[in-house]
Amino acid sequence: MTTYGSALHVDDEPAEEDSVLVSRLRKAGCVILGKTNTPEFGHKGKTDNVPFGSTKNPWNLEYSPGGSSGGTSAPLASGMFPL
């Protein structure tokens, strides 16, 4: 499920099956850990939105991890999972 980082989609129901991409990743042995944050519709240079707030840089909470992929880069930079 995605909310696109928007309050417009917070009540959307989760999908009942994986997308083709997620299905292929699972078949390749990937473990899906969870959902990360995104700026509303991916249109900002900072990862924050109304439903979920700001994503922080794990090394300095005063900094942003950046825009569209900030929700992904923060847990990767923190060592939460290997790449």
Q: Where do the domains of the chain lie?
A: 1-7+34-83
DSSP code, position 19: -
Give the pLDDT score at 50: 86
| Under 8 Å between Cβ of 73 and 66 | yes
pLDDT tens by residue, 40-60: 888 888 888 888 889 999 999
* Three-class DSSP category at 20: helix
pLDDT tens by residue, 14-31: 778 898 999 999 999 998
DSSP character string of 31-60: ---------GGG-SSS-EETTTEE--BTTB
What mean pLDDT, rounded, does the chain reach?
86
Whole-angstrom distance, CA of residue 23 vs CA of residue 76: 21
